[in-house]
Structure 1
């Protein structure tokens, strides 16, 4: 409870308390400037040499790539496991974790507090299986090969406990649960599995309470296994829900998903010391669409991700060197058109790099020997 005197003192000391009016720090004026990264409540700073580990949705891959580009030591970019034929665009994309429970379970496996059940390897047909805690396109293989890779995966995620700063990116709330293994799946199972065992898999739309409880369990687990003094940055991925299994319009379902995660993240941050919420979602949502989104309006542009990470590093005491994102953005239409074209070129170039990275990964000498 906050009394009137405290409330008035808060708004007086808050430079970003007004949507319109006042000075250039109003929400309206910042939004009109076309790119805005709102000011979150910050309780700690980083130091040169700090290590980072990002875990969560595909936005975590964007974050860690940009952090590494800025010169940070990103442990989650150093994960190396056997390639069993993954077909995703990003080599590390198979590690995406889309729900709070997917993140929690992976950390439980990595810590050794939970054994990985055999039932979690789902049938891919022809005596092949896949790891349902990874992307569905992570590669089909024999149970023996999957068991061996799972050990490597557990060791890779255990590096999250070594990081100075752990970054959690929350993706969505539509979660599929496997009643046989007792685990939340990372993605919807293959349609043939749903048809074959319709009672085995359940769609669960997570509530704020469920998301918050999963985050609390993550924090408790980290308290037991992470290095002393580890900090946490939690954010909500701006990447939209690609498809909904609810009865709602996907736009409504996506809004509900992000709102649920946003509330859970804020409450989680307010409950624990050393946990900050960083407004990546709000930055993409309120920046000019032509600059903030790729053409599919599903994924955030590399341009805006660069701005978000540059702002994060600056606010947390690790300002990056000059980059393309420092170009001044004008309200002039011709300049906006130019920046939009540059953004598209950056996205196209980034996708080409990802394709090349994937091609090179398939030529891994270790894979050729096996």
Structure 2
């Protein structure tokens, strides 16, 4: 006997991947811990994470929105202000470093920056430039709104049973003056880029591991029993500031994030990893769960991912009644965007890209 003789069929590429029809590929995730209907669930992370929170809510799970929208707002106004998108009204959190910052600010172990961006008579928060599109009437109003969010984070962490965090990027921009990691490059969505102050940084494996570990330690300092479910966004980089090719930069970023998530899941009994990244980008699906831009995940792709998620939680090994499969893989070439005239809006394209701050970077593409 050797170790391979006792492995199940799912452990072999031919029987697990090459031979089954795409709809029959299952068993990708065996949940490490139960997530019950009444468990308080938090979601945060990159733009793909918004699908998870919505699916949890639609399924009747106890997804917690820690900062409810004030009465009187229209659905469009709530959407524009990021109410009900993630559990925390932080906007997209692409990197482990930014997650750690928010938790440190909320729990009082670090002080948030006091900088504000002033444009056209309005004040914008550098820590979440897309959350309030019209800005604030004063710096005091901005800081009061941020304090409300920090209190909501603090309260949510203390009450939660499980945090679902979706890792998105390794590339980020640091402020040389105070060390703050920005959610997006200053001068893109908002603000002004200062080459002497704003420094590009592509986080390495050990740095992502350090920041994510620190973030989880902060969360557990107020909630020792908190369980964590990590995912990696399948959405590629819109652009890379490395100067390299966007494809290889995406591969580096996702590889680092996947490796960190895998290590934490292997070493911590209260951390698990759900393979949304593999389900969307895996070879059997031939990229067919992406829109023609090969970046935005289709509704069918999201439904397929979430069916696997809930199927595993329910203990199902088959997926009868699963979402419709991938469409035909032949795709027209993406059409070029219009010639830029000014700074891009906070709503660069339709679909998921509405929520992706980094999607605005394609505005600066010279072609």
How far apart, CA to CA, are the structure 2 residues paired with 1:219 and 1:90? 24
Partner in structure 1 of residue 226 of structure 2: 230
Please, which of 33, 49, 60 is the counterpart of residue 49 of structure 2? 60
User: TM-score normalised to the size of structure 1?
Assistant: 0.76
Which has the bigger relative contact order, CA under 8 A and spacing at least 6?
1
Gaps of 5+ in 2: 332-349, 355-367
Contact 1:38 1:283 (8 Å CA) reproduced: no
Q: What SS class does the counterpart of residue 99 from structure 2 fall into?
A: helix
Distance 1:353 1:69, change over 3 A: farther
What's the counterpart of residue 188 of structure 1?
Answer: 185
| SS of match in other structure, 1:44 | coil
Q: What is the aligned length?
A: 319
Name the CA shift for 1:248/1:87 in 2 (closer, same or farther; >3 Å): farther
Q: 1:223 to 1:15 in 2, by over 3 A?
A: farther
Q: CA deviation at 1:105?
A: 0.9
Q: Are 1:291 and 1:303, in contact at CA under 8 Å, matched by a contact in 2?
A: no
User: Superposed, which structure 2 residues align to 1:192-203 within 5 Å?
Assistant: 195=193, 197-203=194-200
TM-score between both structures, scaled by the size of structure 2 = 0.76
Task: Provide the rounded CA distance (Å) in 1 between the counterparts of 2:149 and 2:270.
Answer: 27
1:178·1:185 contact (CA, 8 Å) conserved in 2?
A: yes
2 CA distance for matches of 1:64 and 1:125?
32
Are 2:33 and 1:39 equivalent residues in the alignment?
Answer: no
Q: What's the CA shift string for 1:259-303, capped at 9, x where partnerless?
A: 111111111211211111110000000253564112322121222
Residue 154 of structure 1 and its aligned partner are, at CA, apart by 0.8
Does structure 1 residue 130 correspond to structure 2 residue 120? no
Name the structure 2 match of 1:172.
169
> d(CA) in 2 for partners of 1:88 and 1:174?
25
The DSSP-based 3-state class of the residue aligned with 2:111 is coil
- What is the match of residue 19 of structure 1? 13
Asked if 2 retains the 8 angstrom alpha-carbon contact of 1:36 and 1:283, the reply is: no
Equivalent pair of 2:126/2:191 in contact (CA under 8 Å):
no
Q: Deviations over 1:25-83 (max 9, x none)?
A: 422124x425746623532122221121011101111111111111111114x533679
Cα 1:10/1:124, change in 2 over 3 Å: farther
1:231-276 Cα distance to aligned partner (Å, 9 max, x none): 1110100111111111111111111110111111111211211111
Name the counterpart of 1:358: none
State the SS of the aligned residue for 2:166.
strand
Q: What residue number does 1:346 align with?
A: none
